[in-house]
Amino acid sequence: MAYDIIEALALIAREKNIDLDTVISKVEESLLAAAKKRYPDAENLSFKLTRKSGEIVMIALKKVVKEVTDEMTEITLENARELDETAELGDEMDIYLEVDEEFGRNAILTAKQVLIQKVREAERDKIYDEYISRVGSLVSGSVQQIDKGNIIVNLGKAEAILLPKEQIPREKYRQGDRIRAYILDVQKSFSGPQIILSRVVDDFLKSLFELEVPEIFEKVIEIKAIAREPGERAKVAVYSSDERIDPVGACVGIKGVRVQSIVRELNNERIDIIPYSSHPETFVTRSLSPAKVVEIDIFRDEQAMTVAVENDKLSLAIGKAGQNARLASKLTGWRINIMSETEYNKMKHIEAEEMVQVGHLEGVGSKLEEKLVEADINTVQQLAKYTSEQLQKIDGIGPKIADLLVEKAQALIVDLEVQRKERERLEKENAEAEANAKTDADTEPMAETLNTKNDRAADEEKAVAEKTED
């Protein structure tokens, strides 16, 4: 009988993929729960199942006393010495009781129910522990069910869910289809661990590259940054410290076999692989590929760049609905303002015309101008970007002069900006007026043609009327 118990527990352990010691501990816990239903006030009870013999014993911790007032917690010195000759008054000792003698049918049923519950809990805990350690890795499973847009994925040992927001747009799945995804999170719930999957996070794309490109998995090539619009387009910046290795070529593979495998997995999402550079200008230039950058201005304080591209490549640089520019900005971490070469040259021409030499600023004499020019401050526009504290570091410029210079420079910049906006407004009004005039000019010949046709029709009607009278 005892041997059968161990065999039965071992079978449960194998079926549920749980350690046998865990199952045995759950049996002991379930028996204790059943015992407490029969003896609610007994806090001194415990159970032990011997693995070798399969024997189950109930243990009561009792205190040795002269006179027993509570049989569940106390034992007389005489009875105690029958079990242990060295027992003394005040000692506490374990009294082993036969389970069959102390338990009835109801208690055994309770123990069975608790055991089933404990085993289920242990099974759920094991699955949770296994998958929580796999958060951030790829898994593969089959589509088990599609419910209100949610895809339930069978992973073998557990079920996972792919929410609509974590699915690549326009992807369609049917029951039984194989699916690969990224474990985003694992949460505990009453019905078991909730495994959340994703196919849209950047790390999913990174994990696919690690799977397809051994050099990335082995850390020979490093993915520095990823920018992605799932199902549409992605940009991946790669780098290798080994000059002998071409990181882009390794990721593309022979005849594009490596990257094409990833593209197919992502529902034909277009992937641009870009060599990373620690120099922002170079990195931004590469990120805008295939458009060619001809000029670039950097504003480091604002983490922004103005980029000029060839006139016929402007739409290519910006991309469909601005997609290429958005991804390049996200990839590099810089705000990018893209314009055509013609627009850039025009802007520079206007800026050059609007530049005011620092010597033309009211209150700046020849000596002060010389000090500012020596500090590489040649225009009022440059001066306006300085703080009073920065100007005071220049020899001969004190707090009062510094404050006055900053105030006047910034005031002049505001005036110039107002003038520029007014100029743009007038240009816009003139352009609209010219367009309206052209529209009116185009309309007049059409009106004349209609009048001519109407006159001809009237003459024909008159002629027909006269002929009828004759």
Domain spans, the chain = 2-129, 134-198, 202-350, 357-440
In this prediction, residues 183-199 reach a mean pLDDT of: 89
Residue 290 preceded by cis peptide, ω within 30:
yes
The pLDDT score that the predictor gives to residue 286 is 94
The helix (H) or strand (E) run that includes residue 6 is: helix 2-16
pLDDT at 54 over 90: no
pLDDT at 470 over 60: no
pLDDT at 120 over 70: yes
pLDDT at 3 over 50: no
pLDDT at 153 over 90: yes
Per CATH, the number for 357-440 is: 1.10.150.20
* Phi, psi dihedrals of residue 156, rounded to the nearest 5°: 100, -75
Confidence at 1, pLDDT banded by 50, 70, 90: very low
Average model confidence (pLDDT) for the chain?
82
Cα 252 to Cα 232: distance, rounded to the nearest angstrom: 18
pLDDT at 232 over 90: yes
| Token output for 325 | 């520019």
* Highest mean pLDDT out of 155-169, 367-381, 412-426, 433-447: 155-169
Please tell me whether the overall predicted TM-score, pTM, comes out greater than 0.75 for this model.
no
The pLDDT score that the predictor gives to residue 109 is 61
Cα 95 to Cα 100: distance, rounded to the nearest angstrom: 15
The pLDDT score that the predictor gives to residue 2 is 45
pLDDT at 19 over 60: yes
C-alpha pair distances (Å), 287 with each of 179, 283, 430: 31, 6, 39
* Phi, psi dihedrals of residue 282, rounded to the nearest 5°: -65, -45
Q: Which CATH homologous superfamily contains domain 2-129?
A: NusA, N-terminal domain (3.30.1480.10)
In this prediction, residues 178-193 reach a mean pLDDT of: 89
Higher-confidence residue: 110 or 421?
421
pLDDT over 70 percentage in the chain: 80
In this prediction, residues 279-303 reach a mean pLDDT of: 91
- For 453-466, what is each residue's pLDDT tens digit? 566 666 666 665 55
pLDDT over 90 percentage in the chain: 37
pLDDT at 214 over 60: yes
The pLDDT score that the predictor gives to residue 368 is 83
Q: Which CATH homologous superfamily contains domain 134-198?
A: Nucleic acid-binding proteins (2.40.50.140)
**What helix, strand, coil percent values describe the chain, rounded to 5?**
55, 20, 25
The pLDDT score that the predictor gives to residue 144 is 93
Burial environment of residue 60 by CB neighbours within 10 A (0 to 12, 13 to 18, 19 or more):
buried
Q: Which residues contact 368 (CB under 8 A, 6 or more apart)?
A: 396, 397, 401
Fold of 202-350: GMP Synthetase; Chain A, domain 3 (3.30.300)
* Highest mean pLDDT out of 20-34, 230-244, 340-354, 386-400: 230-244
The pLDDT score that the predictor gives to residue 256 is 92
| Token output for 361 | 């600023």
Confidence at 188, pLDDT banded by 50, 70, 90: confident
Q: Quick check: 287 and 237 in contact, CB under 8 A?
A: yes
| Token output for 392 | 């005071």
| Token output for 105 | 């049918």
Alpha helices in 239-374 (DSSP H): 247-252, 257-265, 280-287, 314-318, 323-332, 341-354, 366-374
pLDDT at 257 over 80: yes
Query: What is the b/e burial string over 196-210, where b = at least 16 CB atoms within 10 angstroms of the residue's CB?
Result: bbbbbbbbbbbbbbb
The pLDDT score that the predictor gives to residue 9 is 65
Cα 193 to Cα 124: distance, rounded to the nearest angstrom: 7
The pLDDT score that the predictor gives to residue 98 is 61
Domains 2-129 and 134-198 share a fold: no
- For 340-370, what is each residue's pLDDT tens digit? 999 989 888 877 767 778 777 877 788 888 8
- For 293-335, what is each residue's pLDDT tens digit? 999 999 888 899 999 999 998 999 999 889 999 999 999 999 9
Cα 258 to Cα 281: distance, rounded to the nearest angstrom: 29
Cα 399 to Cα 192: distance, rounded to the nearest angstrom: 69
Higher-confidence residue: 276 or 129?
276
